[in-house]
Structure 1
Amino acid sequence: MRTQRLDTSPAAMAHAAELLRRGELVAFPTETVYGLGGHALDEAAVAAIFAAKGRPASDPLIVHLAATGDLPLVAATIPALAAQLATAFWPGPLTLILPRHPRVPLAVTAGRETVAVRVPAHPVAHALLVAAGVPVAAPSANRFGHTSPTTADHVLADLDGRIAAVIDDGATPIGIESTVLDCTTTPPTLLRPGGISLEALEAVVGPVQVRTRPTDAEQHGLTSPGLLDRHYAPDHELWLFSGPPATALARLRAEAETLLKAGLRVGVLLPAEDLALLRDLPVETESLGPASDPAAMAHRLYAALRALDARHPDRILARDLDDAGLGRALRDRLRRAAALVVEV
């Protein structure tokens, strides 16, 4: 059975909502990436999400809600800090870790007593959640560990025949996943950088501690998605060069020349300005857009990685990006996608 590609007409959205209520899986656009939706309170639907993606049970799912007022459906309590953050950033690309309500299956939360929740801002996601009338668990709509999808074509490339439907509304606007903030710690803890910057969070709630690696206590169940060292990866090996931009770029160029002399195919993923310095080399290139525009680079990141992957290079080369604002999330995704980080 092939996956249905749905448009955003009222009839198609009503059909998608009915599929979700029946326990089927529907991929849909959010402002971050495409999510793979299933009824969050239906254990069989949750199990189907893990099966379709090939996702380990130790990696929890994010529950998506239509509105902040739906939080009591999935959270046992709502800390004042969480309410403050919801007022400031929802709907939007911020996921909050909260105490789990008993009605949320433990399979959703990797066996932990906390649940990851967000209210997406994308109009199609919002309309689907309203029409479905149930909380929807939705990790990224791709094979586990693979580059995240920002178009319906990306979803179908990974999951065609594994899910009931995908709602096609073009490319997602932000292009990288949501920020994840644990509201059960004091101070709150940034677990995954994303569409809301650390600086924006601290402007609202004050100091935020940063932890983007699993703790020993999370060996059998992670607190948040996006904590695994290897994630978001293309099928072909990615090497990331980290250091001062000019030095990293010089080292990247030297590696490209070595690979080309060995008769290998080379893919290069860089900001637009950097690519100009490699125009004399016969490499496959994808631009992230201007280095001065992190939002443009985030929007392009996964699509560019998938485009390079499709050309079957023997190796993809990229350089690290600045660790500030949205650049923190870009650096996080590149480092987790990389098979090797070369410090220069």
Structure 2
Amino acid sequence: MTKVLPADAAGIREAAATLAAGGLVAFPTETVYGLGGDALSTAAVARIFAAKGRPAEDPLIVHLADLADLPRVTGALSPQAALLAGRLWPGPLTLVLPRGPAVPHSVTAGRETVAVRLPAHPVARALIAAAGTPVAAPSANRFGHTSPTSAAHVLADLGGRIDLVLDGGPATIGVESTVLDLSGPVPTLLRPGGVSLETLRELLGEVALGGRAAEAGGQIAPGLLDRHYAPESALHLCVGAPAACRGWIRAQAARQIAAGRRVGLLVPDEDAALLAGLAADIEPLGPAGDPAAIAGRLYAALRALDARRPDVILARDIGDVGIARAILDRLTRAAAGRVSILTPSERRATQ
């Protein structure tokens, strides 16, 4: 049975002892809830993969309590890594760096690089510090499923499979950390997240765009598979101008409803009002002009809508600037190929 404790001093002490003994603890970060185990213990790492049903080819992110802990997991920092660590840590940024010899290859999917971050959440940092070891922590959910932003989400996916959950309330950012690969000649954005591409380019200059999964062997970082973050219901995503995608959603919903299917809509508040006449289950995300609010609600809203078991979920993007890029990435992977990118002529036809 999974124990749930408040994220107070006593709860953190018990959770840290659980980690030190090789157990698994789900804990809050500013992005999503993580499933933590001792990153330097092959046995604890194996338990993480087993609890999640995660393939060995998908690596884990190692979380630290302090910059001073970096030598435990990697070698000397490059000037770029030192700059980013100094300016953006603690925070929602993961750096792919050379693997230190103490980090098991099971953490890194066999690669000689390791993904590392220093979270900003005070509970996460206090827990890692008290445990006395770097903590490997993917999102605390079944592999490939929608990520958890509350203790209740963790229990829904992993209850009975892990030792303890620290309940620190809802995550604030709501989508996973940005992953930046610094192992090559050009910094490469592998996964957009809480630190924007625009911020990285302001600090570094050139930042390339990556994010495609390797065709064979271990992945360089998590979150790169074509299907990820997915609900049980089939999600279909429209990418295009807002009015055009609203027209696309209206037409798709009408067709699905006419065929006797239950339709869910995962849309900004403005769309929810405009589409209210449809016989669909509408889950508003927040104002379209506030991407940070939508990111913070995205997974909770997707889980809530999915729990009502629609046959299909329809959604649209809100752009690709700042954290909206991360929202687009998560919805694209959740749709698992069911993405309609409207051409200019299609946009005119749906308006």
TM over 0.5: yes
Q: 1:202 Cα shift?
A: 1.0
**CA shift at 1:95, angstroms?**
0.2
The 5-angstrom pairing of residues 87-126 of structure 1 reads 87-126=86-125
2:306 to 306, 309, 330: 309
Residues 1:133 and 2:137 aligned together? no
Match of 1:318 in 2: 315
Q: Aligned partners of 2:254 and 2:214: how far apart in 1?
A: 40
Amino acid at match of 2:254: E
Does the CA contact (< 8 Å) of 1:90 and 1:120 recur in 2? yes
- Correspondence for 1:178: 177
Partners of 2:234 and 2:36 lie apart in 1 by: 29
- The 2-side partners of 1:84 and 1:48 are apart by 34
Query: Hey, what's the Cα distance between the residues in 2 that align with 1:328 and 1:11?
Result: 38
Partner Cα distance (2:335, 2:120) in 1: 30
| Matching residue of 1:10 | 9
Task: Show the counterpart of 1:164.
Answer: 163
- Residue 297, structure 1, aligned to residue 317, structure 2: no
Conservation of the 8 A alpha-carbon contact between 1:88 and 1:204:
no
Aligned to 2:260: 263
Unaligned runs of 5+ in 1: none
* Deviation for aligned residue 1:215: 3.9
**3-state SS of the aligned residue for 1:81?**
helix
- C-alpha deviation, 1:214, in angstroms: 2.3
Instruction: For 1:244 and 1:70, locate their aligned partners in 2 and report how far apart those are by CA, in whole Å.
Output: 46
**What is residue 346 of structure 2 aligned with on the other side?**
none
2: distance between equivalents of 1:150 and 1:341? 25
- Which residue of structure 2 lines up, in the alignment, with residue 341 of structure 1? 339
**Equivalent AA in structure 1 for residue 21 of structure 2:** R
Secondary structure at the aligned position of 1:252 is classed as helix
Are the counterparts in 2 of residues 143 and 159 from structure 1 also a CA contact under 8 Å? Answer: yes
Unpaired runs of at least 5, structure 2: 343-351
TM-score under structure 2 length normalisation: 0.96
Counterparts of 1:298 and 1:82 in 2: how far apart (Å)?
26
- 1:245 partnered with 2:245: no
Q: CA deviation at 1:321?
A: 2.2
Residues 100-152 of structure 1: CA distance to partner in whole angstroms, max 9, x if unpaired? Answer: 01110000000000000000000110110111110000000000000000000
Counterpart selection for 1:329 from 318, 326, 330 = 326
Structure 1 contact 141–155 (Cα < 8 Å) conserved:
yes
Counterpart residue identity of residue 84, structure 1: L
What pairs up with 1:209-220 in 2 under 5 angstroms? 209-216=208-215, 219-220=216-217
CA RMSD of aligned residues (A): 0.8
- SS state of the match for residue 15, structure 2? helix
Counterpart-to-counterpart distance in 2, 1:202 and 1:242: 25
Give the Cα–Cα distance (whole angstroms) in 2 for the partners of residues 102 and 290 of structure 1: 47
Superposition deviation, residue 281 in structure 1: 1.2
Is residue 274 from structure 1 mapped to residue 271 from structure 2 by the alignment?
yes
TM-score where L is the length of structure 1: 0.98
Aligned to 1:229: 226
- Count of aligned pairs between the two proteins: 341
CA distance in 1, matches of 2:246, 2:100: 49
State yes or no: 1:285 paired with 2:320.
no
Identity %: 62
Contact persistence 2:291–2:318 (CA under 8 A): no
Q: Which runs of 4+ in 1 moved over 3 A?
A: none
Output one character per residue of 1:269-316: Cα deviation in whole Å (capped at 9) or x when no partner: 011111111111121111110111110000010001000011000100
Q: Is the 8 A contact 1:76 1:102 kept in 2?
A: no
Deviation digits for residues 85-111 of structure 1 (CA, Å, limit 9, x no counterpart): 001100000000000011100000000
Within 2, Cα distance between the matches of 1:109 and 1:192? 16
- Within 2, Cα distance between the matches of 1:276 and 1:261? 21
CA distance in 1, matches of 2:43, 2:152: 26
Deviations 1:34-84 (A, max 9, x none): 000000000000000000000000000000000111100000231121110
Matching of residue 20 in structure 1 with residue 38 in structure 2:
no
Instruction: Give the 3-state SS of the residue equivalent to 2:319 in structure 1.
Output: coil
Displacement, 1:155?
0.2
- The amino acid that maps onto 1:42 is S
